[in-house]
């Protein structure tokens, strides 16, 4: 199992290096499908072992002691996230090849796409903070290349905003990692809880705030979320789909891991406030636009707010609801961006001014959009309803009345904006 766990990350990196040397597109495509497929098989084997044997698989690279080791840890949650991530990247890869997107025709698309996949898996499996920082740097480099692959003015401008904010995030994270190591003598997330507990309250709170800021930027939470709706709409649709489904979820996942493991129960009220503001501002941005891609991008921010709200509530029920919301949101948001990509390819635009009457021309295609859209809005009996109900119920139990009211209002406004897309793009003019 140790070898399989390593292969989940190493196979895409090997495939990327090989594809970069062999520039022929058919070879690159084959390498992408084969290496990501093999990584998925390895990750699935690790997941089966984690669930059936109730084991946590650990790999320490290089033989270093635990305090310094580069560690991969695959418990049930990490294994599930990696399997979902690899499944999504494979399906989106199939979509991008089938749609013959402009970005996919670049000689750099497949190598960088595999590097991004490796970075996502590494972030989910990281068992130490330094390894997590390295994964974030891999993701930053790969995502910037994919974001600006076509080289348009809009992509370069939004890509600059994206990279500046993420460089700031990297600086905050590496500062936090350095200070944590200086204070505790370890970066291992298995050893840190006991050592952080011995620190003065002020020092521990300062370290927690640094990690909250770093992972909050990656997750696109209030107040540093503006880079996301600015950058995602300019990327190729296949790239936007992966970004929407997975990249922000890496930030949320890291928030869940660090806040529940390293700082349990601390600053929860602040996290609830941040979650409520993220929900509200995200949905207000969504309803103010008439471009489908921008509406969906703002809704990423809004839905991240629900997850942060659940994290701030704390407790077993709320954290379980947050994880369910996280898992539900990946396929829902990815599928919505893929549908938008097909619309944009066929009509040349994602604006309501150029798109209308799609339901009359293709009822089946309209249904493919409608189901995830209703799930995003939280209508029963879809997964979005179950996820929102669980988080709202946890908020009621915790007597977070104002945040619960915000969550309910945001859900209603989400339905309004999804109706706006349906009327504007599928039925006719707004």
* pLDDT by residue, tens only, the chain of 430 residues: 677 888 889 999 999 999 888 878 788 888 999 999 999 999 999 888 888 877 788 878 766 665 667 888 888 999 999 999 999 999 999 988 877 665 666 778 889 999 999 999 999 999 889 999 999 999 988 988 888 887 677 788 888 888 888 889 999 999 999 999 999 888 888 888 989 888 888 899 999 999 999 999 998 898 888 888 888 888 888 888 899 889 889 999 999 999 999 988 778 899 999 999 999 999 999 888 878 888 888 999 999 999 999 999 988 899 999 999 999 999 999 998 888 888 877 776 667 666 666 767 777 777 888 888 888 888 888 888 999 999 999 999 988 899 999 999 999 999 988 888 887 777 765 4
| pLDDT score recorded for residue 430 | 42
Query: Where do we find the tokens 């989940």?
Result: 8
The pTM assigned to this predicted structure is 0.91
- For the chain, domain boundaries: 267-430
| pLDDT score recorded for residue 350 | 66
Euclidean distance between CA atoms 196 and 194, whole angstroms? 6
Which among 113, 109, 50 is positioned nearest to 81, based on CA atoms? 50
Q: Which two tokens stand for residue 59?
A: 């790999």
Interacting residues of 300 by C-beta distance below 8 A, sequence separation 6+: 220, 228, 229, 232, 244, 248, 282, 333
The Cβ of residue 414 has, within 10 Å, a number of other Cβ atoms equal to 26
Query: How is 35-55 classified by DSSP, letter by letter?
Result: HHHHHHHHHHHHHHHHHHS--
Query: Where do we find the tokens 């859900």?
Result: 411
123, 189 Cβ separation under 8 angstroms: no
| pLDDT score recorded for residue 178 | 93
| pLDDT score recorded for residue 179 | 94
What are the φ/ψ torsions at residue 161 (nearest 5 degrees)?
-60, -45
Cβ neighbourhood burial of 97 (10 Å; 0-12, 13-18, 19+): middle
175, 56 Cβ separation under 8 angstroms: no
CA distances for 237 relative to 200, 273, 400, angstroms: 48, 32, 38
């Amino acid at each position: 199992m140790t070898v399989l766990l390593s292969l989940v990350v190493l196979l895409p990196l090997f495939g990327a290096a090989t594809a970069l040397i062999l520039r022929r597109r058919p070879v690159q495509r084959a390498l992408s499908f084969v290496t990501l497929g093999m990584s998925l098989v390895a990750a699935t084997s690790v997941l089966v072992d984690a669930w059936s044997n109730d084991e946590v698989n650990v790999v320490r690279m290089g033989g270093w002691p635990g305090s310094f080791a580069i560690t991969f840890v695959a418990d049930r949650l990490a294994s599930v996230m990696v399997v979902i991530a690899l499944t999504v990247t494979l399906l989106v890869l199939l979509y991008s090849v089938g749609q013959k997107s402009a970005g996919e025709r670049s000689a750099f698309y497949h190598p960088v796409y595999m590097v991004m996949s490796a970075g996502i898996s590494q972030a989910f499996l990281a068992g130490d903070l330094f390894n997590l920082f390295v994964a974030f740097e891999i993701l930053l480099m790969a995502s910037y290349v994919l974001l600006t692959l076509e080289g348009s003015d809009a992509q370069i401008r939004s890509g600059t905003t994206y990279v500046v904010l993420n460089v700031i995030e990297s600086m905050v994270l590496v500062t936090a990692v350095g200070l944590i190591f200086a204070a505790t003598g370890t970066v291992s997330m298995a050893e840190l809880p006991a050592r952080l507990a011995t620190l003065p309250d002020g020092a521990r709170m300062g370290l927690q705030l640094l990690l909250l800021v770093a992972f909050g930027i990656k997750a696109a939470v209030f107040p540093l979320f503006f880079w996301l709706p600015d950058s995602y709409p300019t990327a190729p649709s296949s790239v936007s789909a992966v970004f929407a489904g997975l990249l922000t979820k890496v930030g949320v996942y890291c928030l869940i891991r660090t806040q529940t493991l390293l700082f349990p129960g601390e600053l929860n009220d602040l996290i609830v406030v941040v979650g409520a503001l993220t929900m509200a501002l995200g949905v207000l941005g969504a309803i103010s636009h008439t471009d489908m891609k921008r509406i969906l991008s703002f809704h990423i921010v809004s839905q991240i707010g629900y997850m942060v709200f659940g994290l701030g509530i704390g407790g077993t029920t709320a954290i379980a609801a947050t994880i369910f919301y996280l898992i539900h949101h990946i396929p829902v948001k990815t599928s919505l961006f893929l549908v938008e990509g097909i619309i944009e390819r066929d009509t040349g635009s994602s604006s309501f001014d150029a798109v209308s009457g799609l339901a009359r021309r293709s009822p089946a295609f309209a249904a493919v959009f409608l189901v995830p859209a209703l799930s995003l809005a939280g209508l029963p009996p879809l997964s979005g309803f179950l996820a929102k109900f669980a988080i709202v119920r946890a908020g009621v139990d915790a007597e977070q009345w104002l945040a619960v009211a915000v969550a309910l209002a945001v859900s209603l406004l989400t339905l309004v904006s999804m109706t706006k897309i349906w009327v504007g793009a599928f039925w006719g003019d707004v």
